[in-house]
Amino acid sequence: MIPIINTVKTMEKPKSFPEQEQSQPGKENAMQPKPEVIRDSYIGSDKLKGKVALISGGDSGIGRSVAVHFAREGAAVAIIYLEETKDAEDTRKMVEKEGGRCLLFKGDLSSFDFCESVVEECVSEFGQLNILVNNAAIQFPKNSAEEISESQFRKTFETNIFPYFYLVKCALKHLGEGDSIINTSSVTAYRGSEHLLDYSSTKGAIVSFTRSLAKMLAPDNIRVNGVAPGPIWTPLIPATFDDVSDFGQDTPMGRAGQPSEVGPSYVFLASEDASYITGQFIHVNGGEIIGS
């Protein structure tokens, strides 16, 4: 008989949050409480051994969790961030603690040239690229269309969806059979949001981008999938919402998710376990039922 291993107890997930103020981009090191990045009880099993992953927005929140999960599964990672160098350095330390290597790229993804140089430097350093995780985003909540300036609308699209295309375009010549692309969307793409007209539109664009790219690349056996998170406790939240006290309480599970509860979906989609899955989304959202 196999003995039952008594794993480390999983962190108690908070149901409400203290008042706090931040501006965009939010800093994980300033959050209270700190998000859970990975469960102590998460046991890696070499699912991504020998792979190289490039993760946009990998300094914090969901992207950091993906970086650390990928490292625990044996991958080397490169992360792109806007300006949060302390968070990025902390992520690198976490990846190194897992025995992985981590490159940091600081800059603005809305520049095609920056995206191109990141991909090329990543490949020249690691010699290959196997997994692209498109994940960086901004949001500026507004309650009416009149309040959304033309420049905000443009900036949201230029940050949230244009770079997904730029990084894909630059990465494709390095990706091969069995490799994959994973795009972060949002529950707001599926249910709409009266507070996030521009942001939710970019997240809807990401869904269609993912489905179309999946069809385009299926003959090459490069899979393209996505994750559509619900409310997750990351720096984006205190940086963009005035009141975070009841954040996530309107989900069926009655609480926000932690990054540690999102990262494993990216592992699954990146690994061979998902070898017959492309063009699909995993809905990590505390129980909101989504059409497809």
119 binds ligand NAD (CB under 6 A): no
State in angstroms the smallest separation of the CB of 286 from Mg ion. Answer: 22
Query: By C-beta, is 25 or 100 nearer to ligand NAD?
Result: 25
Interface map 188-217 toward ligand NAD (x if CB under 6 A): ------------------------------
Report whether 251 contacts 230 (CB < 8 A).
yes
State in angstroms the smallest separation of the CB of 16 from Mg ion. Answer: 23
Tokens of 89: 């350095």
Interacting residues toward Mg ion by CB under 5 A: 25, 59-60, 84
Conformational region of residue 99, where left means phi above 0, alpha means psi within -120 to 50, and beta covers everything else: left
57 binds ligand NAD (CB under 6 A): yes
Residue 263 site contact among Mg ion, ligand NAD, none (CB < 5 to 8 Å, cut-off depends on kind): none
Query: By C-beta, is 73 or 87 nearer to Mg ion?
Result: 87
Tokens of 282: 């995993």
State in angstroms the smallest separation of the CB of 99 from ligand NAD. Answer: 24
Using alpha carbons, list the distances in angstroms from residue 283 to 99, 277, 292. 30, 15, 9
> Of these residues, 81, 164, 199, 266, which one is catalytic?
199
**164 is a catalytic site residue:** no
Q: Looking at beta carbons, which residue is closest to ligand NAD? A: 61
State in angstroms the smallest separation of the CB of 131 from ligand NAD. Answer: 16
CA count, 13 A, side-chain hemisphere, 290: 22
180 binds ligand NAD (CB under 6 A): no
Stretch that binds ligand NAD, among 66-74, 95-103, 212-220, 235-243 (CB under 6 A): 235-243
Measured in whole angstroms, how far is the alpha carbon of residue 76 from the centre of its chain?
A: 16
Query: By C-beta, is 200 or 234 nearer to Mg ion?
Result: 234
82 binds ligand NAD (CB under 6 A): yes
61 binds ligand NAD (CB under 6 A): yes
Dist. CA 173–CA 210, nearest whole Å: 18
State in angstroms the smallest separation of the CB of 200 from ligand NAD. Answer: 10
238 binds ligand NAD (CB under 6 A): no
110 binds ligand NAD (CB under 6 A): yes
Tokens of 94: 């976490």
In terms of Cα–Cα distance, which of 183, 193, 178, 196 is closest to 228?
183
Cite the active site residues: 199
Binding site for ligand NAD (CB under 6 A): 25-26, 57, 59-63, 80-82, 84, 108-110, 135-138, 159, 184, 186, 229, 231-232, 234-237
